[in-house]
């Protein structure tokens, strides 16, 4: 061997062999690097070789090729796979699918049952993109045909495809403009030097920047400044990974995937505009689920209300303060000893809980409860029935794996089990029964990374429970005391032959045999430590033969899908509203997401904006919002007032905080906050049909309901890093005050016509920053983009049911040419399949002074359009319309009854 020969030149022969062995074992890596840098093994896997392509076939709609390992195997983080297969499919004019996988198809791939694939086929000639193959050494590039720009180029870096390590690198232009790759709370426009995004779901309390959080969405949007074109790359891989973005003298600017398994499975989306890319991504992620109209109302929750009387008092207090409350939520303190599918008989007796739910329903309000995945390992129906059906995750010995969560020792449902859905349906049907249980209207699911309080290996879990102080966050304290553990089951959490996968060769796409499923040699930058720490062990094998090592990041989304099925089994005709913590690509097709256990401080208030935009704009999870006023720690009056106004411009608007002794932060606690909330909710409710229409549009074609400023002004570089302003729909620019103690904010206005939503006064943006002053703590700056028509309700209401009975008015904000348009979508607000809908368009022509309404008018909303307000530089004009929403019309404004405002 060459290295050994070099060492023999430097050392006596016996010493040379010893040094070589030490180097091979990485025992003296640091000294080695100092003595003989160019010959030392690198922790970055700089083994050269890669693959050679052969038998390259161009089919007219794609490409296929065989890849063979070039040179010797490095076997650095596992063994190198010698024979691979490349497939390229031009699926649509804007989407290309590229896969590199082992010829025997043993390496794990995400099941289509979890993430359905779009398919499709078009001629390569009709694609906006072309894939170019270099055979030796193998590399590929994806090129935009219109300008011959490579949007992805692996040349200069060898593909590494090992049993427990995958590396693929693409070069990037200098100073790239990148977004996505979440979940994270880092800047929206990603850092490009020494930056790593780690993908491994964890219980990420306080959502710290620079770390892996609850969910995983390995898709990035890149905007090329020179060509003013945007594209996206989606990586369909659920294994733990680091994505490194760096700029070095040796390699230049690059983005590099480093995973502990899986295959290369990439979708390239051509855009060329950022909104177009977002729409195209829904072909991969699936279209988002539509939510019920009432779900866009205001929600209230707290972990630690303690008893049903306190919950009822919150409902009464909101009514007394005249702050509209649409939905009341209860955290896990309703449970008996934190056991899912139980009520605490003392503090949440069934009769009293049902009484509150009946009261809420009688007043057109709603009720939601939390359900965690982990089931208490105790003698009660939820556990006994799950054990009988065999649906809990098991160790290699066949025993139920036991971890520790809120109720103490717990078992975890295996969502891949073919009886898991029926089990979950049964629990929901019983506990949430309309006649005999708690008739919830929506669902909140948590702790589904899955979380495990116990340090790995958590053996035995009883010792962890005994050594841990009992959690007593609420009154009465007895709610936190779990029942005595059942010992007679004889279930053992220990693993036999720990960590070694023994899958047979005939199994397709389920993972290679012989892998170390606990301690892979490549270690991702998981803040939680080892892969199995504070979660379930990664060597557990699911009922369908897949390893938790490969599917860990899917757990939350699979629980979401199963929970959606359970909610539909209860109410088959109603749209489910489900809010989850852990997500994966495609989750938005089933659920919404709250941004986790944030902190009551100004930093988290600010970061909530970019965190929210990730999900709605890039990941197609549009029902999203942070805990308003913050969850961890004590909020303040001014912070909560500002947050009440910002939260009104989330899609999911909920106040939630942690247990006593933290201060209560219901909006009625302070006069200033109460006023801010009344103002904010009134504004939100007047805009609710605009919001509902924009949200519906995302479910139909993927146009984001929330957009970074850059999405609408991609040719303006000043907009690229902006993450404290955003558009709600295509018409409203939201610019909250973001500094503590401040009553002013400096905002950016692109070169366009805008109008102040509150004063209706015009303001011409010229691509510069302006400072808004004297902004009350009860207000939030909102500007209307010129060219918009907003359908508004004539006022606010206490509930969304009452709101739907109010008439509309139209607010016309012409652009610089005097033109404007808008949309309005109407349906019954809750049916999964709508019997009738209306999809209405409004057009205004400032030259002819005409307003036109056209579209489809299948749904009778039972209300009218009362007035029309036209904004302008010489002041606003209000006109009487008094038109129904049952058919189109054209109005000559010159002949209408109008008056200056």
CB 805 within 8 A of CB 771: no
What 3-state class would DSSP assign to 34?
Answer: helix
Residues 6+ apart with CB under 8 A from 877: 869, 870, 893, 898, 899, 900, 901
Token duo for residue 324: 């509209």
Q: In angstroms, rounded to a whole number, what is the distance separating the alpha carbons of residues 497 and 495?
A: 6
Measured CA to CA, the distance from residue 393 to residue 317 in angstroms comes to: 44
Crossing angle for the helix pair 555-570 and 420-431, nearest 10 degrees? 50
Structure tokens at 700: 């139909």
Instruction: Please report, for residues 213, 295, 622, the alpha-carbon distance to residue 579 in angstroms, rounded to integers and kept in the order given.
Output: 16, 11, 11
Tokens of 532: 């199995």
Residues 121-130: b if buried by 16+ CB within 10 A, e if exposed = ebebeebbbb
Alpha carbons 224 and 824: distance in angstroms, whole number: 34
Which residue is it, tokens 């898991």?
A: 420
d(CA 93, CA 7): 56
Distance CA 79, CA 170 (A): 23
Distance CA 233, CA 782 (A): 33
Rg of the chain taking only CA atoms, in angstroms: 29
Give the active site residue among 183, 186, 222, 446.
Answer: 446
How deeply is 322 buried, as exposed, middle or buried, from its count of CB atoms within 10 A (0-12, 13-18, 19+)? Answer: exposed
Six-digit token string for 513: 């045999």
| Helix 350-362 / helix 308-320 crossing angle, nearest 10 deg | 20
Number of alpha carbons in the 13 Å side-chain half-sphere of residue 450:
30
Structure tokens at 809: 């008015």
H or E segment and range at residue 298: strand 298-300
DSSP string, 336-370: BTTBTT---TTTS-HHHHHHHHHHHHHTT-EEEEE
597 is catalytic: yes
Active site residue 882: no
Q: Residues 823, 828, 829, 835: what is their CA dihedral angle, to the nearest 10 degrees?
A: -90
| CA–CA separation, 664 and 670 (whole Å) | 10
User: Distance (Å, rounded) from C-alpha 517 to C-alpha 549?
Assistant: 6
Token pair of 615 as six digits:
């999900």
449 is catalytic: yes
Whole-number Cα distances in Å, 781 to 506, 771, 773:
62, 11, 10
d(CA 413, CA 555): 10
State the Cα–Cα distance between residues 122 and 91, nearest whole angstrom: 6
Name the 3-class secondary structure at 174: coil
Spot the catalytic one: 597, 627, 752, 809.
597
DSSP 558-590: HHHHHHHHHHHHHSTTB---EEES--BTTGGGT
Give me the residue label for tokens 């369908």: 544
Q: What is the DSSP string of 141-162?
A: EEEETTTTEEEEE-TTS--EEE
Judging by beta carbons within 10 Å of its beta carbon (0-12, 13-18, 19+), is residue 794 exposed, middle or buried? middle
| CA–CA separation, 473 and 460 (whole Å) | 25
Task: Please name which of 345, 366, 347, 346 lies closest in space to residue 356, comparing C-alpha atoms.
Answer: 366
**How many residues does this entry show for the chain?**
901
One of 449, 627, 689, 752 is an active-site residue; which one?
A: 449
Q: Known catalytic residues?
A: 446, 449, 597
């Amino acid at each position: 061997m060459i290295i050994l020969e070099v060492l023999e030149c430097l050392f006596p022969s016996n010493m040379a062999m010893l040094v070589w062995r030490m180097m091979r074992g990485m025992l003296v890596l640091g000294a080695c690097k100092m003595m003989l840098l160019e010959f030392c093994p690198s922790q970055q896997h700089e083994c050269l070789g890669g693959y050679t392509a052969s038998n390259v076939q161009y089919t007219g709609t794609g490409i296929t090729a065989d890849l063979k390992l070039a040179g010797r195997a490095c076997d650095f983080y596992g063994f190198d796979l010698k024979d691979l297969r490349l497939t390229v499919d031009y699926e649509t004019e804007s989407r290309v699918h590229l896969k590199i996988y082992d010829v025997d198809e043993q390496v794990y791939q995400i099941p289509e049952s979890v993430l359905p694939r779009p398919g499709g086929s078009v001629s390569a000639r009709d694609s906006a993109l072309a894939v170019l193959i270099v055979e030796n050494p193998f590399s590929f590039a994806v090129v935009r045909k219109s300008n011959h720009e490579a949007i992805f180029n692996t040349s200069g870096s060898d593909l590494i495809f090992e049993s427990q390590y995958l590396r693929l690198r693409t070069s990037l232009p200098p100073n790239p403009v990148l977004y996505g790759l979440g979940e994270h709370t880092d800047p929206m426009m990603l850092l490009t030097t020494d930056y790593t995004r780690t993908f491994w779901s964890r219980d990420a309390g306080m959502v710290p920047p620079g770390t892996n959080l609850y969910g995983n969405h390995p898709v990035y949007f890149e905007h090329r400044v020179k060509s003013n074109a945007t594209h996206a790359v989606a990586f369909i891989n659920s294994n733990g990974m680091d994505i490194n973005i760096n700029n070095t003298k040796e390699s230049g600017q690059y983005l590099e995937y480093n995973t502990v398994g899986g295959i290369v499975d990439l979708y390239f989306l051509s855009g060329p505009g950022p909104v177009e890319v977002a729409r195209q991504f829904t072909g991969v992620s699936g279209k988002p689920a539509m939510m019920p109209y009432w779900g866009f109302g205001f929600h209230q929750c707290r972990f630690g209300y303690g008893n049903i009387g306190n919950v009822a008092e919150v409902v009464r207090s909101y009514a007394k303060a005249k702050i509209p409350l649409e939905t009341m939520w209860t955290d896990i303190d309703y449970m008996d000893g934190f056991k899912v599918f139980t009520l605490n008989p003392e503090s949440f007796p069934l009769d009293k809980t049902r009484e509150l739910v009946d009261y809420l329903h009688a007043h057109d309000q709603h009720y939601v409860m939390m359900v965690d995945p982990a089931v208490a390992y105790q003698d009660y129906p939820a556990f006994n029935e799950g054990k009988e059906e065999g649906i809990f995750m098991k160790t290699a010995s066949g025993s139920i794996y036991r971890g520790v969560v809120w109720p103490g020792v717990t078992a975890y449902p295996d969502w891949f089990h073919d009886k898991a859905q029926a089990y979950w349906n049964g629990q929901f049907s019983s506990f949430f029964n309309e006649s005999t249980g708690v008739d919830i209207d929506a669902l909140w699911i948590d702790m589904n990374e899955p979380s495990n309080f116990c340090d790995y290996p958590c053996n035995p879990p009883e010792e962890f429970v005994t050594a841990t102080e009992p959690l007593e966050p609420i009154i009465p304290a007895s709610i936190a005391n779990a029942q005595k553990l059942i010992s007679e089951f004889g279930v053992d959490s220990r693993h036999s032959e720990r960590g070694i996968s023994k899958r047979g060769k005939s199994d397709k796409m389920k993972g290679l045999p012989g892998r170390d499923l606990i301690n892979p040699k490549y270690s991702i930058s998981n803040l939680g430590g080892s892969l199995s720490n504070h979660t379930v062990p990664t060597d557990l094998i699911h009922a369908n033969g897949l390893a938790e090592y490969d599917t860990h990041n899917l757990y939350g989304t699979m629980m979401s899908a199963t929970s959606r099925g359970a909610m539909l089994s209860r109410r088959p005709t109603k749209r489910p509203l489900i809010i989850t913590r852990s997500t994966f690509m495609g989750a938005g097709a089933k659920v919404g997401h709250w941004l986790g256990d944030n902190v009551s401080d100004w930093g988290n208030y600010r970061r909530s904006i970019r965190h929210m935009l990730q999900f709605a704009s890039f990941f197609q999870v549009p029902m999203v919002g942070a805990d308003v006023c913050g969850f961890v720690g004590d909020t303040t009056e001014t912070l909560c007032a500002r947050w009440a106004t910002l939260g009104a411009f989330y899609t999911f608007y909920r106040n939630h905080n942690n247990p006593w002794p933290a201060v209560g932060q219901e909006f009625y606690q302070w006069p200033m906050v109460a006023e801010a909330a009344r103002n904010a909710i009134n504004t939100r409710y007047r805009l609710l049909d605009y919001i509902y229409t924009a949200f519906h549009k995302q479910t139909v074609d993927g146009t984001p309901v929330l957009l970074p400023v850059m999405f609408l002004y991609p040719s303006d570089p000043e907009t690229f890093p902006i993450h404290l302003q955003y558009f709600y729909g295509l018409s409203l620019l939201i610019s909250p005050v973001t500094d503590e103690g401040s009553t002013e904010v400096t905002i950016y206005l692109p070169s366009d016509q805008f109008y102040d939503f509150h004063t209706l006064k015009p303001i011409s943006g010229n691509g510069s920053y302006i400072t808004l002053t004297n902004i009350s703590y009860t207000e939030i700056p909102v500007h209307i983009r010129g060219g918009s028509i907003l359908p508004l309700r004539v006022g606010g209401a206490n509930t969304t049911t009452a709101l739907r009975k109010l008439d509309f008015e139209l607010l016309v904000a012409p652009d610089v040419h005097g033109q404007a348009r808008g949309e309005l979508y109407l349906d019954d607000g809750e049916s999964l399949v709508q019997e009738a809908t209306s999809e209405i368009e409004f057009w205004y022509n400032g030259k002819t002074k005409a307003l036109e309404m056209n579209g489809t008018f299948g749904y009778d909303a039972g209300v009218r359009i009362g007035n029309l307000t036209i904004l302008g530089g010489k002041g606003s004009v209000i006109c009487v319309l008094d038109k129904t929403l049952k058919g189109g019309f054209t109005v000559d404004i010159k002949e209408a009854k109008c008056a200056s405002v």
